[in-house]
Structure 1
Amino acid sequence: MKKIITMICLLLSTQSAAAAMAMSNSEPTALLIPIINSEGKQIGAAQLVQKADKVFVHIEAEKLAPGMHGVHFHSVGKCDTPDFKSAGDHFNPLSKQHGFNNSKGYHSGDLPNIEVGADGKVIANIASADVTLQQGKPNSLLKEDGTAIIIHEKADDYVTDPSGNSGNRIACGIIR
């Protein structure tokens, strides 16, 4: 965890410069997103990196309940505690329904479930071709009011609209 916090501090001190360089080169940037729990305490981080046509998400967090948890990108860059409802609905610029197994398509913000170990820790890697870190694109996570990454209390069933019966929002990170 100390390594994650150190990385966040280093990134935050250089994030503005990196973002400015990325914008001037029209290249997407890598982002390190602090993740907080419902008490507002940092429990981990998510790193988002654009490579070709995919966004790769690396999540490291702790102090979570063991088991499977739904993870989604949400449409608003706010993480107001304790329930994170300020993050809005799932990120859904194409107006689809929820769930990878939904015959009508799925939200751009739908992501695979993650598994938290018995020790309350998770390290997960996810790739999504449905979002981008390129500003100005309809499916960009870097929109004006930002987006969020949310970890839910239960697994996503990949079908039920609008949120896959994944339960309450238990952790949140702002993507800007």
Structure 2
Amino acid sequence: MDLGRPQQKSSARPIYYGVAAVAALTVLWLVFKPVEPSLPIVTKAVTVLSGDSDVSGTATFTQAHIGEPVSISLDLKGLDPNAKRGFHIHVSGDLSGGCLSASSHFNPFGKNHGAPGDSERHVGDLGNIESDGEGNVKTTFEDKFISLNGPLSIVGRSVVLHAGTDDLGKGGNEESLKTGNAGGRAACGVIGQA
């Protein structure tokens, strides 16, 4: 050791202390990090439809995984025989004033009304359902826009079966672009987690 010359500090020492500090903070964070509550994944929801008409029945919604299409199974009776009727998800689950309380179609992106396969459509636009010769509907179909989880969740909203046929936004007038000219509300129900 040469006492006549000033000693040079090692440039590796500050890096060593920096790495050690980061490692210590990481361990402390992992040990003491707050546990975030997680919401359960909803895989099934159901609604019981009823209203001022004779229409009654159920709609069951299932979604195996978030991001996958929702399967919709309908078991309805009391429709006119061989009828096509508009079927939509509406914004509100408050049906205290009957089906009119359901508000408008579920449309978080502010789009025009359309058919289920259209890119320009409300999230709640599920098209038409068709009854058989006795006025019953037993069918299952899928929709890729609605979800049972997250911001597009339909749980807590309502289903409305309309009294008329949905023109799928192709009617050439302003009402068609809002409602599909599907007419009054024959039956409705709140969608609840099953």
TM-score for the superposition, normalised by structure 1: 0.75
1:96 corresponds to which residue?
111
1:44 to partner: Cα distance: 0.7
Amino acid at match of 1:69: R
C-alpha distance in 2 between matches for 1:141 and 1:76: 10
C-alpha distance in 2 between matches for 1:103 and 1:63: 30
Large movers: runs of 4+ above 6 Å:
101-104
Segments of 5+ residues of structure 2 without an aligned counterpart are 1-36, 170-175
1:85 corresponds to which residue?
100
Question: Which of 24, 29, 36 is residue 50 of structure 2 equivalent to?
Answer: 36
Question: Which of 122, 138, 141 is residue 137 of structure 2 equivalent to?
Answer: 122
C-alpha distance in 1 between matches for 2:139 and 2:95: 21
C-alpha distance in 2 between matches for 1:126 and 1:38: 26
Percent sequence identity is 31
Asked whether 1:51 is paired with 2:68, we answer no
| Alpha carbons 2:55, 2:187 under 8 Å: kept | no
Asked whether 1:68 is paired with 2:78, we answer no
Asked whether 1:150 is paired with 2:160, we answer yes
Amino acid at match of 2:103: G
Segments of 5+ residues of structure 1 without an aligned counterpart are 1-22
Question: Which digits, 9 at most, give the CA deviation of each residue in 1:30-52, with x for residues without a partner?
Answer: 1221111216x772111110133
Over 3 Å counting, the alpha-carbon distance change for 1:169 and 1:80 in structure 2 is farther
| Alpha carbons 2:55, 2:77 under 8 Å: kept | no
**Count, aligned residues:** 147
TM-score for the superposition, normalised by structure 2: 0.68
Over 3 Å counting, the alpha-carbon distance change for 1:96 and 1:102 in structure 2 is farther
1:173 to partner: Cα distance: 1.2
Question: Which of 175, 185, 193 is residue 169 of structure 1 equivalent to?
Answer: 185
Cα RMSD (Å): 2.4
1:76 to partner: Cα distance: 0.4
| Alpha carbons 2:84, 2:164 under 8 Å: kept | yes
| Alpha carbons 1:102, 1:158 under 8 Å: kept | no
1:130 to partner: Cα distance: 0.6
C-alpha distance in 1 between matches for 2:116 and 2:77: 29
Amino acid at match of 2:130: E
1:25 to partner: Cα distance: 6.8
User: Which one has a bigger Cα radius of gyration?
Assistant: 2
1:102 to partner: Cα distance: 10
SS in 2 for 1:161: helix
1:163 to partner: Cα distance: 0.6
SS in 2 for 1:86: helix
